[in-house]
Amino acid sequence: MEKNRKAVVYQIYPLSFKDTNHDGIGDLNGITSELDYLRDLGIDVIWLSPVYQSPMDDNGYDISDYYQINPMFGSKADLMVLLTTAHQKGLKVIMDLVLNHTSDEHVWFKEALKGKDNPYYDYYIWSEKPSDITSVFSGSAWQFVPHLNEYYFHLFSVKQPDLNWQNPRLRQEIYQMINHWLDLGFDGFRLDVIDLIGKDVHQKQLADGPYLETYLEELYETCFKGKEVFTVGEMPGISLKRANEITTTQKALDMVFQFDHIALDEVQGQGKWVLKKLDLIALKQTLNHTQQLFKHQGWASLFWSNHDQPRAVSRYGNPKEPYRKDSAKMLFTLLFGMKGTPYIYQGEEFGMTGIQLPIEDYRDIETKNIYQELKTKGWPEADIMNSIYAKGRDNSRTPMQWNDSAYGGFSTVTPWLKVNPNHIWINRDLDSKDPNGILSYLKTLLKLRKQYDVFTDGDFHLLEDQNPNLFIYERTTPKERVLVVCNWTSANIENPIKVDNLDILLTNASEHNTLKPYYATIFYEKRD
């Protein structure tokens, strides 16, 4: 919705944000204690990854009770304190809704297992014969239940049975639950793999399923209509075109996460573990395509990273000194100069990097399963580990590095997942004291976005589209023009654009004719 178009969203992965009761696990009170920091950063909306009751097979994306809070994070009262305090500081809080599946420990599934006559049986997806669909987390997507002599469908872990959205009673029960969270005062939702609710498993149509728009409209009519709600749907399997159409109708979601620009460093069709070097021209084409498609209708989300994706600096920039800071600034500039809603993933704001661990230290179910799967397939150990270092989800889940103390100030005891040893020189406190830090740069960038409408409204023109090293574009309205110039590489490169007469809004450099490694500048011009 129009009113949300200047908002900036910050994603919190509660497990890894801040531990205040010394059990090595991040908690709600830890989040509340850092709200001033988030407000001062210039964000508007906090997206909380799931904190509901859960056996944590997939770190909370396996919900066993949508109404209760997992005690490892605190209580529902703690959550309400977080919400109220955030509101006092002018911040919104959106919850993560996992509606494609529940935990197998959810009471609905426990009831369903009692037999075909049970009213909850039809809340899930069953078959007498498994098809060849595989789970995102390895193996078949069908799990046999001997006493029912049937298989249930789980696109993710075996502990995440998929819900049957074609059942109207299930849908009503979900809507009721969503309205409960809205009644409590929450400001909106991030909807996990929401494209999947439109699937037809028996026709083998999953991500681009036929019922999506129908259910989204029903959800809108029953929960969101007439309320001020911020909604973003995660849609890993949907085309850009359909994402654009869904965000054009006023009766669905404000925006979606679409992943075309994310999948460019993997061999198409072979999944995320078969690595490929990213081609800047391909990235330009994809982002340009998005910007053009969303020029007149729809609304896009601007993100490099989240709790499933590797750290942006390690993946697209350069985590090595002396390049880390400049490349982090360059990545923010390149993406947040575009049209859409910026998303920052915790730690990205001061350039946290990925990690390399011995296999037994990984905690993510996907990583543990793929290690076994690739072993069985005969991949050499070194290749498996290289793929995990590059793409494993624990890269972005290591604890927040607040300072250089033991455990990075995240906790006073051994955390649930290793802290990156580089917290000694990469941490929030250190970066915030540095006038050339990433934080201070990002704060200015976010302020500029609020100040100049051209960032929200301007048309997007890609320049130098065949240049394999520089990413250059302009944004224009009849009144203003900004020119964004970025060097994607670690080499010095001559600037092909004449910039001598332009004002500078933001830069990480002092020289603008020879562009230093990871150079980034936003130039500005009034047009009359």
What is the set of active-site residues?
192, 234
CB 51, min distance to Ca ion, A? 12
Question: What is the C-alpha separation between 245 and 192, in angstroms, rounded?
Answer: 19
Q: Which stretch binds Ca ion (CB under 5 A): 20-28, 191-199, 283-291, 380-388?
A: 20-28
Question: What is the C-alpha separation between 427 and 433, in angstroms, rounded?
Answer: 10
The answer to the question of residue 63 lying near ligand TEU (CB under 6 A) is: no
CB 516, min distance to ligand TEU, A? 34
The helix-helix angle for 240-248 and 212-219 (nearest 10°) equals 30
Figure out which of the listed residues 58, 348, 349, 394 binds ligand TEU, where binding follows CB under 6 A: 58
The answer to the question of residue 193 lying near ligand TEU (CB under 6 A) is: yes
Binding partner of residue 151 among Ca ion, ligand TEU, none, CB under 5 to 8 Å per kind?
none
**What string of DSSP letters covers 144-206?**
EETTTTEEEE-SS-TT-PBB-TT-HHHHHHHHHHHHHHHHTT--EEEETTGGGGG-BGGGTB-
Is residue 14 classed as helix, strand or coil in its secondary structure? helix
Residue 372's CB is within 10 A of a number of other CB atoms, namely 13
The answer to the question of residue 98 lying near ligand TEU (CB under 6 A) is: yes
List, in sequence order, every residue forming a beta bridge with 514; answer none if it has no partner: 494
Per-residue binding string, ligand TEU, 359-398, x by CB under 6 A, is -------x--------------------------------
The answer to the question of residue 385 lying near Ca ion (CB under 5 A) is: no
CB 157, min distance to ligand TEU, A? 8
Binding partner of residue 156 among ligand TEU, Ca ion, none, CB under 5 to 8 Å per kind?
ligand TEU
The answer to the question of residue 272 lying near ligand TEU (CB under 6 A) is: yes
Buried b or exposed e, range 442-452, using 16+ CB within 10 angstroms:
bbebbebbeeb
The answer to the question of residue 156 lying near ligand TEU (CB under 6 A) is: yes
Binding partner of residue 236 among ligand TEU, Ca ion, none, CB under 5 to 8 Å per kind?
ligand TEU
Binding partner of residue 78 among Ca ion, ligand TEU, none, CB under 5 to 8 Å per kind?
none
The encoded tokens of residue 196 equal: 């999947």
| Cβ–Cβ under 8 Å, residues 252 and 216 | yes
Helices then strands, counting H and E runs in the chain, come out as 15, 20
The encoded tokens of residue 234 equal: 């995660």
The answer to the question of residue 57 lying near ligand TEU (CB under 6 A) is: no
Question: What is the C-alpha separation between 163 and 196, in angstroms, rounded?
Answer: 10
The answer to the question of residue 25 lying near Ca ion (CB under 5 A) is: yes
Is residue 290 classed as helix, strand or coil in its secondary structure? helix
Question: What is the C-alpha separation between 245 and 242, in angstroms, rounded?
Answer: 5
Choice between 61 and 362, CB closer to ligand TEU:
61
CB 413, min distance to Ca ion, A? 9
The answer to the question of residue 83 lying near ligand TEU (CB under 6 A) is: no
Binding partner of residue 23 among Ca ion, ligand TEU, none, CB under 5 to 8 Å per kind?
Ca ion
Figure out which of the listed residues 13, 27, 230, 347 binds Ca ion, where binding follows CB under 5 A: 27
The answer to the question of residue 311 lying near ligand TEU (CB under 6 A) is: no
Which distant-in-sequence residues (6+ apart) come within 8 Å of 496 by Cβ? 464, 467, 470, 472
Residue numbers of the site for Ca ion (CB under 5 A)? 19, 21, 23, 25, 27
Site residues for ligand TEU per CB under 6 A: 58, 61, 98, 136, 156, 192-193, 236, 272, 307-308, 366
